[in-house]
Structure formats: C-alpha cells, structure tokens
C-alpha cells in the first residue's frame, strides 16, 4: 500500500473519530465496528497493512495510527459513559446530590477591611501608598512632634532594631515622608503593619495593621475633616450608624479627636462589646499640628490639613464578632475558610 | 465644688464630649451595703476565754449576741455590724459561728474590715446620731458615684477634682468653688518670696538644683497630733479608692487629688536644721518608703537634710524622715519639679508614684501658694497644731503667666465655621484663660494649670472642644485631587491575591518575628521573647508552621498564602532592607471531595506547584523560571534570585500528604501594554506525535528543537501524555501539534512535511525517536 493511501486512510479515520462526542449509542456501536472491528475495522486493517510500507514510512504512520487507536478507544469509552448516564430517566436523577465544588480561597478578613476602607477614601480622592516598617526615631517620633522625653512617647512602647531605629509604632511616619516628598494638595491613605511592645492577649498583639490618612491643602478645615470621616462611616458601617467626635490627644494633631460610632452589636443600647457605652472607638484623628508641617518643611500658615488612623484588626474583630485578636494570626483553615465570598 | 448635685451619667457625657472619656461610672457604698450601725447594750466576759467578750447588740431589728475579741468594745457605743449571711469588702462572708461554746450572731467590725482605714486592732467607733439598723453607707454619707476618667497625657489639669469641676462648670455655666474644710482656721499666713534660699522654723532651705526644681515652698506646722482622720476625710479617701493612713498623710493626698499639687510632709525635728535641693551624685543611695534601697545618679533631683538624702525629689521620700505617730512638728514641702527630669528619674528608678505621675505631666507653677495654704489649713483642721511662721517661697527665677495670641480669623480658617469673637472669649474664660483684645487679635493669658497651651492652635482646639466637636457641620466641600500617585505595589499585591484565592488558597497574616538567627537576620534589641528575637527573612518558615498547626487540629487539606514584608540586616545601626514577598503552600486534596470523583491521585503534586509558581510569576511580570536540583528557581533579568518552588520538608504525621511551597519577591516590573493579535481566519491542521525521549534529554530542549525544525507554521505544541516503560530506551511523551498558516489554508502535505522535518532533526540532534508501534 502506498504511503499517500495510508495517510488518506488516517485522515478518514480521524474525521470519523471526531464525530464520536456527538454520536448516539447506535452510532457508537457502528463506529466501533467500522474502525476497530477485528476483521474489517478500518483502523485494524491499517495497522495490519503497515508491514507493506517502506521502513521509514512504516515508523511514522505506525506511530500516528497507534496514537489514533488510543484516542478512538478512550473517546468511545467516554461517550458511552455519558450516554449510559443519560439513559437513566430524569426522575431517577437525585438532584439533591451535592454539587461538584472547586476550592475557593478567601482573603484575610483584615485585608478585606483594609481594601474596603481604601476604596471608600478613593471615592473622595485619596490615593493608596505604602512605606517602610523600620523607621528612624526621627520619622516615627520627632517629626511628628512626639518628643522622646514626653509621656506621649509612652503611649507607643517600641521595638528597637538599633539605637535610633525602631519598628514603626504607627503608619504616621508616612505623613512626614509624604509632606517632604510631595507638594500639596496631598490626599493619601497608607495601610501597613505597625509594631507595639505589647505581649499577645485577647485584645493586644505586638504586630497589627493600621491605616493612616492625610489630606493637606490650602483651606482644609475641621468641617472638611468631619465631612470626610462622616462619609467614610456612612459607607463602611450599617445604614444609620451614628458618629461621635470627642476631644483627644495626639502630638501630631491639634485639635485632636477620637471618633466613635454607634456600637454595631447593640445599635447603641449598650452591651458587653461596647462596655455599656453604646459606642465603639474606631479612629484617632485631627487637624495636622502646625509643628508637623514646620518639621517637614511645609508652610504651616498657608496649608492646613487633617489626618486619621484606624486599626483594621480591631475593625475586623468588631465586624465579624471575632473574640480574640490572636485568631487573626493563627492561620487556621477552619477559620479562614469562613471568609470565602 | 459646683454647689449643686450633678447626675453622674450626664457629667460623664459632658466630660467625654469636652475633655476626656469616662471609663467607668461606679456607685460607691454598695460594697458596704450589708453593714449597719449597731448599738452595744451590754458587754460581758466570755465564760471560756479571757480575751473574748460576749456583747448584747441592738441591730435595730432585734437583739443578738455577738462574740467579740476587740479590747475597745464598750457598752453604750455604736459600731459597724455585719449580720450572719452578709458580705464584707473582699468577699468576706459572715457565718454563724460557735466560739468556744458561745454562739456568735454576726460581727462587729474594725475600720480595716470595712475598708475605711488601716486600724484593725479595735472596733471602729461610730460617733453618729443614726439609730441602730441604719446602713453604714447612709450613716457615714459614703454613698456617692465614682467616675474613672481616662485623662490624656497633655491635660494634667484634669488629674484633680478642681480641674474636673472647672470643666464641668464651663459646660454647666457654673463657677466652681473649693469646698469648706470643717474646722479649718479662718486664714493662713501669706508665704514670703525669697531667692534660692530661705529659713523657716529653724530650717534653712536651699535650692542648688534650680533647673530640676525651679520653685520650692515650705510651711511649718507645730504641735500636730498624728492620728486617725475624721470620718469625713476617711470617707473622701474611700471615695477615691484610697485607704486612709493617718490625718497628715490623708491631708496631703487630699490636696493632691483636689488641686493636683503633690506635697511631702517631713518630720521637722529630724532634719537637723537644713533642707537642700540638689543634684544627686552617682552612687548615692536612699531607702524609699516602699522599702527598696535605691541607687541614684547625677541628674536626679534629691532632697537632703543637714546630713543625708531624705527624698528623691518629686518621686518618693526616704523612710527615715517620714512623719510617724510621734511626730509633732512637720515641714510641709510644696514644690515644682521639672517634668523631663522627673521622667528621666522615674524611668531610671522604675518607680512611678502619684506624685511623679503629676510632676511628669506638669503641675501648676502659679497655683503653688494657694495649694500650700490650703494644705496647711487642712492639716490644722484634721491634726491640730499651728502655723508658727509664714511659709517660705523659694523662687529664684520667677516665671510669669504665658501669653498666647489668637487671631479670630485663624479660628475660622482652621475650624471652617465663623465663631463670633465674644463666643471665643467666653469659651476661653470659662476654663480660666484671661482674654484681652489687642488690635485684631486676642491676647490670651494661660493659667498655670495648662502647661499644654503654648501656641495659637492650642487655643483653637480649646474653642473647638468647648463649642463641642459635634456642633460643627459635616458638609462635604470641594477638594482638589492630590499629587501623590497610587503605589503600583499595592495594585500588584491585589492582583496576586486575586490569582491565588482563585486557585483555592486562603490568605494568612503571620507575625513578622522569627526565632532563627543568621547573617541576614535583623535582631530586635528588646524582643518580647527569644521566639521573637529576629525579624523574618522569609515567609515560608511561618507558613510551614501554620501547616503544622493545621495538622495539629486534624486538618489534612491546607492551602495558604501570605503577602508580607521580609527583612535583611544590612549593617550595624542602620535600617534593615525591606522587601515584599509572596509565598504559598499547598498540601492534601487538590479538589474538594465529590461523590463522582475517584479518590485516587487527588492530592497536590509538583505540577500543581509549578502552575502556582507560573501564575504568580506571570502576575508579577518579572522573572524567569528555571529548574534546579530541588525544584524551580525564579531569576531576574540580572540573574539575581527572585524566588523558588519545591517540596517543603515538614515533620509529617502518617496521615498527611506531601507539602509543596513557593516564595517569590514582589517586584514591580515595567508595565507593558499588550498588543492585540489578529484572530486566525484559516483552519488549523493537527497532528499527534509520540516520541521516545532518551534519559538525559528533557522536554524543554525537545520542544526548542521542534520549534526550530518545524518551520513557520507550527502554532502550538501541547504534551498530552507521558509514560515510562521498560525496554524502549527512555520515556514516551506524546505531543499534540497545531499547524496554521496565516492567510492561506495549510495543506495536509505541508503539515506532514513539517512533522517529518521535526522527527528527523530530533533524531539527529537529541536522539529522540518516534515511538514504535
Ligand atoms: Zn454595644
């Protein structure tokens, strides 16, 4: 048999086999007989006739024919299986049998909180940046108007890496870096990991996430600050959540404020989560202290601004009712898989 | 002080909105609710014990017998009484007892038993008119409410009751007044101002360390009688959660809590005629009141008498000079210590006291004379004695009130709301600022108790908080977009997260500490524990530990990834290098269990890992994947290592599966815009090719040769099978090839020729041959 004939046969067989996925069961038997029949099957015969070919041709055609035989066999098998399932009449299929599920991964609940917060502020013009976790005392404290010999520095017990080098105790150093690097208007949010020398307990961790926000321009006022925070709360928390601004103290803001929202657990009537106050503290904030502008080379008379800081770990705990912050670091599959959305 | 009763909840709300949050509103007196006033009618000797008496006690609700061990029990007097079943402070429950054969119904109490003093030896005599049966908190007027206020570090003025009253007064429109002290003298002597030295009651007082102690006042009271405080003072001590010690100590504590002025009472007769305030010398020691021997250093301010140290200035006194029960003459110190010095001292000594806490935050330099005079009259009222001579006031370099200018226009500029000048003035004067208009500004005199107010913006904060933050509108006004661009690394992280969660991996966040030292590991100078002594240099160590944790809770299928910072030490005294990494780990079933699946061969393997690595590298857009002995390595353009993937060695229990992990640096690549490729409009020609690959040849090089030999029309090659069997001289790998020619229909013959060229070239170059039938 000439090679071209063999090739043509192969092509013919291939095109027959291509029709297998659509064939009904009669047609399947027919194809099986036609291609693989022990005596007159086309493929059987082709394989048998290989010995008549030139050695070089024989090798090539033979390999292709063998491969094709495997494919035809498995295609027939697969089609038969599908057909046999279809033959079972519809009322015999138990549709309560479980679906075929794929694994789906979840974002960490803290990531979700961070992303949502940044997204909301993006709507009012805030871009998202990050900064280093190891900082000099100068950026972590001094430039932010926190003298190292003032009780305010006690609020943030720090890990030291070298004399004058700390793991940042807040994301606020990025206020200083940004003020030095960019001209106002500045509108940024800065998520990132921060460190405090607090041992682990149900509500403390030496490592946690923080989001810093900073808006600086000519003519930004306390009203703009309140409006931005109000906008955020309205977007992030349940409809109708109340907001309360209280005086507070941060060396890098003046006036300083603590922002409370109506407790999401009890809607303000008082429960153990909010210690009966009906409110939850969600952020520290305020108008940028002119001393910070001065230390970062910004004209404090011309520019004003506001800054805020939030703790996504705490917010995630409140939001999901997670009782112990350590669970957010335990990496337990049984917990993480609850946050697949 | 406000001259009216204030609802505690309302007060707490007002304070939270204007000053500082209230952590707790606690009723006082409840802990003594079970204790009543009882009258002892008759005292008789216990039949069986010399030291015990049996008392007939009128409880107002019947007469009972009580066995009593106190020597001072006297018929006809009233004492606190706790009946059977009642509970005393400290959760002490009273039971019915038989004491040496005599039944005792309840207990008569000493002052320490009812938490009203330190005297525990005898019963607490009650000189009150209340009839038996009256509850003790009523009889002693203990019932009150305690507010625990969380004071910010910049507001020392509200660490005392007068400061709180001032703030509440401002909110309620009341001008607070200090309470009358029962039995106080009509007047006390006006202090006499001197330079750095002065004399009082035969004691020469000298400030040498005028930096650490710029002002030192001293009063002398002779003829005091140290003893228990009167009931009103005891109950005041009780209400601030402090225990009554004796009349003089209670008096100084009272002033500390009332006016925020710490005081120190020395036994005048032990001073040897001199008090010197000087710098300590390195190595000097004294034994503080808590019984600890303290070593001082230069820079600390020390109070000495004629011969020895008697106090660490502003922190704590020495045991030797304290007022004792036999003291009759006292020297009362009222000083100002420099906050920074106090902070350094208490940090070095690891000793924080009520006094140091206040000095560190700044006491009222201007208010000292008033505080001292009130202290003197309080001591005379509760301990007797008289003021022999006028107090001395050592103030070598007097500092006047601070003045700060305020521009009303700046108030509006910063707060965004126009506030009338009169309103601004009213807010400021309501909390003690003195305001005088000057040109178009306000000259504001800052009271001594407000060391935090030093510049205009501090006054603007005063206006804002006194007006009430919540009174400002929340109106969104136009803004300009910023100049800072989004950081691309955050966008990259989000894309990696999407890719890996889509592949079933859960995101985790681990602590960035490590216990493993190494040349690259950045040590922490003050770690919390040895397990957290370094910063992590990779993420995989933490992930592997998380896998083991999940095994420990019987979870076989673990799929985790983390994006986080790793650190590399680059030298002494400098910041470590930081780099974001992404790492992932998978083990166990690669698919969720389904009834239609066969369970065999369902666990993650190397090929799943290779895909995860490829996905990650593709998302990053930086790095090439190559093979090495243990798995795969990712290298950058410059050949530097960016990551790896391999089977992770863990200490595996029997029932778990193999663990596969990867870790890659997150580096921002050049962002390239993808160009659209025209969709093919000609049919493909497909061929399958089964080859035998000899040992030592890999499919990557085979495919390279294939591509080269195929000519221009080979569109794609996909491996769809591999098997190894004896006797074929290698392994068999099967490819599916697709040929296509743009713009023309490729003929079968063209494809066949290409396949033929491929086979011949492979055989020649790599000894890769067609699989025999
Ligand atoms: Zn609540």
Give the residue from chain B lying closest to A147, CA to CA. Answer: B340
Residue B585 CA to residue B580 CA, distance in Å, equals 17
A210-224, B6-20, B71-85, B207-221, range with the lowest pLDDT: B71-85
**Most confident by average pLDDT, A96-105, B173-182, B542-551:** B542-551
Q: Token match 């030139």: residue?
A: A54
Tell me the backbone φ, ψ of residue B206, rounded to 5 degrees.
-135, 130
List of residues 6+ apart from A65 with CB closer than 8 A: A10, A43, A46, A47, A50, B773
A10 at B interface, C-beta within 8 A? no
Cα of A265 to ligand 1 centre, how many Å? 5
Cβ contact, residue pair B525, A304, below 8 Å? no
Closest CA to B496 of B591, B561, B558, B560: B561
Instruction: Compute chain B's Rg from CA coordinates.
Output: 42
For the cut 60, the answer to whether the pLDDT of residue B773 exceeds it is: no
User: Shortest Cα distance from A153 to chain B (angstroms)?
Assistant: 10
pLDDT in tens, B427-440: 999 999 999 998 88
- How many CB atoms neighbour CB B99 within 10 A? 16
Average pLDDT for B263-288: 92
A107 at B interface, C-beta within 8 A? yes
Residue B258 CA to residue B181 CA, distance in Å, equals 12
Residue B593 CA to residue B332 CA, distance in Å, equals 82
- B727/B465: higher pLDDT: B465
Average pLDDT for B8-26: 89
| DSSP 8-state symbol, B680 | P
Average pLDDT for B71-81: 86
Quick one: how many helices (H) and strands (E) in chain B? Answer: 16, 41
A67 at B interface, C-beta within 8 A? yes
Q: 3-class SS at B222? A: strand
Contacts 24+ apart (CB under 8 A), B112-116: B113/B80, B113/B88, B113/B89, B114/B32, B114/B35, B114/B80, B114/B88, B114/B89, B115/B31, B115/B32, B115/B89, B115/B90, B115/B238, B115/B243, B116/B140, B116/B234, B116/B235, B116/B238, B116/B244
Residue B368 CA to residue B220 CA, distance in Å, equals 15
B212 at A interface, C-beta within 8 A? no
pLDDT in the model for residue B219: 96
User: Shortest Cα distance from A208 to chain B (angstroms)?
Assistant: 8
A116 at B interface, C-beta within 8 A? no
Residues in B closer than 8 angstroms to A217, CB to CB, are 479-480
Task: Report residue A310's pLDDT band, with 50, 70 and 90 as the boundaries.
Answer: very high
Mean pLDDT taken over chain A: 90
User: Shortest Cα distance from B72 to chain A (angstroms)?
Assistant: 46
Average pLDDT for B548-562: 96
Residue B344 CA to residue B351 CA, distance in Å, equals 11
For chain B positions 155-174, those within 8 Å of chain A (CB to CB) are: 155
Q: Where are the domains of chain A?
A: 3-91, 109-339
Cα of A209 to ligand 1 centre, how many Å? 23
List of residues 6+ apart from A87 with CB closer than 8 A: A25
Cα of A262 to ligand 1 centre, how many Å? 8
pTM of the model: 0.85
Average pLDDT for A139-155: 83
pLDDT in the model for residue B700: 93
Question: Which of A9, A49, A63 is the mutation pick for testing B, counting most B CBs within 10 A?
Answer: A63
Task: Report residue B600's pLDDT band, with 50, 70 and 90 as the boundaries.
Answer: low
Cβ contact, residue pair A304, B413, below 8 Å? yes
For the cut 70, the answer to whether the pLDDT of residue A91 exceeds it is: no
A62 at B interface, C-beta within 8 A? yes
List of residues 6+ apart from B685 with CB closer than 8 A: B738, B739, B740, B746, B747, B748, B750, B751
B527 at A interface, C-beta within 8 A? yes
List of residues 6+ apart from B189 with CB closer than 8 A: B373, B376, B387, B389, B390, B391
Question: Which of A333, A338, A340 is the mutation pick for testing B, counting most B CBs within 10 A?
Answer: A333
Residue B137 CA to residue B240 CA, distance in Å, equals 15
Cα of A277 to ligand 1 centre, how many Å? 7
List of residues 6+ apart from B750 with CB closer than 8 A: B685, B713, B739, B741
For the cut 90, the answer to whether the pLDDT of residue B205 exceeds it is: yes
pLDDT in tens, A37-69: 888 888 888 888 887 878 777 777 887 888 888
- The most distant pair of C-alpha atoms in chain A lies apart, rounded to whole Å, by 100
Identify which of A132, A150, A182 has the shortest CB distance to residue B578. A132
Cα of A312 to ligand 1 centre, how many Å? 19
Under CATH, which architecture does the A109-339 domain have? 2-Layer Sandwich (3.30)
For chain B positions 318-357, those within 8 Å of chain A (CB to CB) are: 340, 343-344
Residues in B closer than 8 angstroms to A283, CB to CB, are none
pLDDT in the model for residue B414: 97
As a dihedral over the C-alpha atoms of residue B425, residue B426, residue B432, residue B435, rounded to 10 degrees, the angle is: 20
Rounded to whole angstroms, what are the CA distances from B607 to B632, B660, B699? 11, 10, 14
Identify which of B413, B455, B574 has the shortest CB distance to residue A221. B413
For chain B positions 718-737, those within 8 Å of chain A (CB to CB) are: 734
For the cut 90, the answer to whether the pLDDT of residue B764 exceeds it is: yes
Sheet of B434-438: strands edge to edge? B402-406, B441-446, B434-438
Tokens read off for A163: 């004399």
Residues in A closer than 8 angstroms to B464, CB to CB, are 222, 247, 255
pLDDT in the model for residue A152: 65
pLDDT in the model for residue A92: 76
Cα of B612 to ligand 1 centre, how many Å? 44
Residues in A closer than 8 angstroms to B495, CB to CB, are none
Cβ contact, residue pair A110, B509, below 8 Å? yes
Closest CA to A9 of A50, A38, A39: A50
| DSSP 8-state symbol, A20 | G
B471 at A interface, C-beta within 8 A? no
For chain A positions 179-218, those within 8 Å of chain B (CB to CB) are: 182-188, 191, 193, 197, 199, 205-207, 209, 215, 217
Identify which of B340, B528, B688 has the shortest CB distance to residue A206. B528
Mean pLDDT taken over chain B: 91
Give the residue from chain B lying closest to A107, CA to CA. Answer: B507
For chain A positions 237-276, those within 8 Å of chain B (CB to CB) are: 244-249, 254-258
Give the residue from chain B lying closest to A207, CA to CA. Answer: B511
Instruction: Compute chain A's Rg from CA coordinates.
Output: 35
Cβ contact, residue pair A165, B575, below 8 Å? yes
pLDDT in tens, B575-589: 999 999 999 999 999
Closest CA to A333 of B712, B170, B23, B557: B557
A137-146, B231-240, B297-306, B365-374, range with the lowest pLDDT: B231-240
Cβ contact, residue pair A255, B565, below 8 Å? no
> Which segments of B152-203 does DSSP mark as H helices, in order?
161-172
pLDDT in tens, A181-220: 999 999 999 999 999 999 999 989 999 999 999 999 999 9
For the cut 80, the answer to whether the pLDDT of residue B671 exceeds it is: no
> Which helix H or strand E contains B716, and what residues bound it?
strand B714-724
pLDDT in tens, B643-668: 999 999 888 899 999 999 999 999 88
Average pLDDT for B161-168: 95
pLDDT in the model for residue B221: 95
For the cut 60, the answer to whether the pLDDT of residue A88 exceeds it is: no
A221 at B interface, C-beta within 8 A? yes
Task: Report residue B291's pLDDT band, with 50, 70 and 90 as the boundaries.
Answer: confident
Residues in B closer than 8 angstroms to A331, CB to CB, are 508-510, 543, 546, 549-550, 560
Residue A188 CA to residue B354 CA, distance in Å, equals 42
Question: Which of A47, A105, A123, A145 is the mutation pick for testing B, counting most B CBs within 10 A?
Answer: A105
The answer, yes or no, to whether ipTM is higher than 0.85 is: yes
Task: Report residue B144's pLDDT band, with 50, 70 and 90 as the boundaries.
Answer: confident
CA B126 to chain centre: 45
Count of CA atoms in the C-beta half-sphere (13 A) of B290: 10
Q: 3-class SS at B58? A: strand
Give the residue from chain B lying closest to A234, CA to CA. Answer: B474
Cα first-last separation, chain B: 107
Closest CA to A137 of B573, B521, B454: B573
For chain B positions 475-494, those within 8 Å of chain A (CB to CB) are: 475-477, 479-487, 489-490, 494
User: Shortest Cα distance from B489 to chain A (angstroms)?
Assistant: 8
Cβ contact, residue pair A165, B497, below 8 Å? no
Average pLDDT for A238-262: 93
pLDDT in the model for residue B187: 86
Identify which of A97, A105, A125 has the shortest CB distance to residue B481. A125
> Which segments of B290-367 does DSSP mark as H helices, in order?
339-349, 354-361
Count of CA atoms in the C-beta half-sphere (13 A) of B487: 18
Task: Report residue A313's pLDDT band, with 50, 70 and 90 as the boundaries.
Answer: very high
pLDDT in tens, B373-414: 999 999 999 999 999 899 999 999 999 899 999 999 999 999
């Amino acid at each position: 048999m000439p090679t071209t004939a063999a090739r043509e046969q192969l092509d013919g067989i291939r095109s027959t086999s291509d029709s297998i996925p659509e064939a009904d069961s009669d047609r399947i038997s027919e194809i099986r007989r036609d291609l693989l029949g022990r005596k007159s099957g086309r493929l059987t015969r082709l394989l048998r006739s290989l010995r008549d070919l030139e050695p070089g041709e024989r090798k090539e055609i033979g390999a292709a024919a063998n491969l094709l035989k495997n494919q035809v066999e498995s295609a027939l098998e697969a089609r038969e299986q599908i057909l046999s399932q279809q033959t079972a009449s519809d009322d015999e299929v138990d549709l309560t049998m479980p679906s075929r599920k794929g694994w789906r991964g979840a974002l960490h609940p803290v990531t979700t909180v961070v992303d949502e917060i940044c997204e909301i502020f993006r709507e009012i013009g805030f871009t998202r940046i990050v900064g280093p976790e190891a900082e000099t005392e100068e950026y972590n404290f001094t430039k932010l108007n926190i003298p190292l010999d003032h009780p305010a520095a006690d609020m943030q017990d720090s890990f030291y890496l070298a004399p004058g080098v700390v793991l940042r105790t807040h994301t606020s150093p990025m206020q200083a870096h940004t003020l030095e690097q960019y001209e106002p208007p500045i509108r940024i949010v800065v998520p990132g990991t921060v460190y405090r020398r607090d041992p682990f307990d149900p509500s403390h961790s030496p490592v946690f996430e923080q989001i810093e926000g900073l808006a600086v321009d000519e003519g930004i006022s306390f009203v703009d600050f309140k409006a931005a925070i109000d906008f955020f709360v309205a977007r992030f928390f349940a409809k109708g959540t109340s907001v309360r601004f209280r005086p507070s103290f941060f060396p890098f803001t003046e006036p300083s404020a603590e922002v409370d929202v109506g407790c999401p657990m009890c809607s303000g009537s008082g429960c153990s989560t909010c210690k009966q106050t009906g409110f939850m503290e969600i952020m520290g904030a305020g108008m940028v202290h002119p001393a910070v502008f001065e230390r970062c080379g910004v004209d404090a008379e011309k520019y004003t601004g506001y800054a805020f800081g939030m703790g996504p770990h705490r917010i995630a705990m409140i939001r999901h009712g997670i009782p112990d912050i350590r669970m957010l670091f335990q990496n337990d599959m049984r917990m993480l898989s609850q946050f697949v959305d | 002080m406000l001259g009216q009763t204030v609802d505690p909840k309302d007060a707490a709300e007002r304070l939270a909105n204007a000053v500082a949050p209230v952590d707790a509103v606690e009723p006082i007196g409840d802990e003594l609710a079970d204790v009543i006033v009882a009258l002892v009618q008759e005292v008789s000797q216990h039949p069986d014990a010399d030291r015990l008496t049996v008392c007939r006690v009128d409880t107002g609700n019947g007469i009972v017998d009580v066995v009593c061990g106190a020597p001072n029990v006297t018929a006809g007097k009233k004492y606190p009484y706790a009946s059977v079943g009642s509970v005393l402070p400290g959760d002490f429950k009273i039971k019915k007892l038989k004491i040496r054969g005599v039944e005792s119904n309840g207990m008569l109490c000493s002052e320490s038993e009812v938490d009203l003093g330190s005297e525990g030896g005898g019963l607490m005599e009650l000189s009150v008119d209340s009839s038996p049966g009256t509850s003790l908190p009523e009889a002693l007027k203990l019932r009150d409410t305690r507010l625990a206020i969380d004071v910010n570090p910049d507001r020392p003025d509200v660490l005392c009751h007068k400061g709180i009253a001032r703030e509440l007064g401002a909110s309620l429109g009341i001008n607070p007044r200090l309470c009358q002290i029962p039995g106080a003298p009509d007047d006390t002597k006006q202090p006499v101002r001197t330079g750095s030295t002065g004399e009082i009651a035969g004691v020469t007082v000298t400030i040498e360390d005028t930096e650490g102690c710029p002002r030192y006042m001293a009063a002398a009271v002779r003829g005091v009688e140290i003893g228990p405080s009167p009931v009103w003072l005891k109950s005041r001590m009780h209400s601030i959660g402090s225990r009554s010690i004796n009349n003089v100590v209670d008096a100084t504590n009272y002033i500390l809590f009332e006016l925020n002025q710490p005081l120190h009472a020395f036994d005048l007769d032990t001073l040897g005629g001199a008090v010197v305030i000087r710098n300590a010398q390195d190595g000097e020691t004294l034994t503080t009141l808590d019984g600890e021997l303290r070593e001082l250093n230069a820079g600390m301010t020390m109070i000495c008498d004629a011969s020895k140290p008697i106090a660490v200035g502003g922190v704590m006194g020495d045991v030797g000079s304290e007022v004792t029960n036999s003291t009759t003459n006292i020297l009362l110190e009222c000083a100002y210590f420099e906050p920074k010095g106090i902070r350094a001292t208490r940090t070095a000594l690891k000793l924080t006291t009520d006094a140091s806490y206040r000095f560190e935050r700044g006491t009222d330099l201007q208010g000292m004379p008033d505080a001292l005079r009130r202290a003197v009259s309080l001591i005379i009222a509760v301990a007797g004695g008289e003021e022999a001579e006028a107090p001395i006031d050592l103030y070598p370099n007097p500092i006047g009130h601070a003045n700060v200018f305020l521009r009303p226009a700046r108030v509006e500029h910063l707060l965004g709301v126009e506030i009338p000048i009169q309103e601004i003035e009213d807010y400021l004067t309501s909390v003690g600022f003195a305001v005088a208009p000057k040109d178009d500004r306000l000259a504001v005199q800052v009271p001594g108790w407000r060391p935090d107010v030093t510049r205009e913006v501090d006054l603007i904060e005063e206006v804002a908080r006194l007006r009430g933050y919540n009174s400002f509108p929340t109106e969104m006004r136009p803004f300009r977009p910023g100049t800072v661009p989004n950081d691309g690394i955050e966008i990259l992280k989000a894309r990696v997260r999407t890719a890996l969660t889509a592949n079933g991996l859960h995101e985790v966040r681990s602590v960035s500490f490590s216990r493993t030292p190494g040349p690259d590991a950045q040590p922490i100078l003050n770690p919390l524990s040895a397990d957290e002594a370094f910063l992590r240099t990779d993420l995989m160590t933490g992930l592997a530990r998380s896998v083991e944790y999940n095994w420990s809770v019987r979870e076989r299928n673990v799929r985790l990834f983390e994006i986080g910072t790793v650190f590399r030490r680059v030298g002494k005294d400098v910041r470590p290098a930081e780099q974001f990494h992404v790492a992932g780990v998978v083990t166990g079933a690669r698919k969720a269990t389904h009834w239609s699946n066969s369970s065999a061969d369902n666990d993650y393997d190397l090929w799943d890992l290779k895909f995860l690595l490829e996905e990650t590298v593709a998302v990053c857009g930086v790095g090439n994947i190559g093979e090495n002995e243990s798995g795969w390595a990712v290298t950058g353009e410059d050949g530097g290592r960016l990551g790896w993937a391999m089977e992770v060695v863990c200490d595996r229990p029997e029932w778990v599966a193999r663990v596969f992990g990867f870790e890659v640096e997150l580096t921002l690549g050049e962002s390239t815009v993808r160009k659209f490729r025209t969709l093919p409009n000609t049919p493909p020609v497909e061929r399958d090719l089964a080859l035998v690959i000899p040992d030592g040849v890999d499919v990557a090089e085979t495919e390279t040769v294939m591509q080269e030999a195929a000519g221009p029309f080979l569109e794609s090659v996909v491996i769809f099978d591999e098997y190894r069997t004896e006797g074929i001289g290698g392994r068999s790998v099967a490819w599916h090839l697709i040929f296509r020619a743009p713009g023309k229909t490729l003929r079968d013959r063209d494809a066949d020729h290409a396949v033929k060229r491929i086979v011949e070239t492979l055989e020649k170059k790599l000894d890769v041959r067609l699989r025999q039938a």
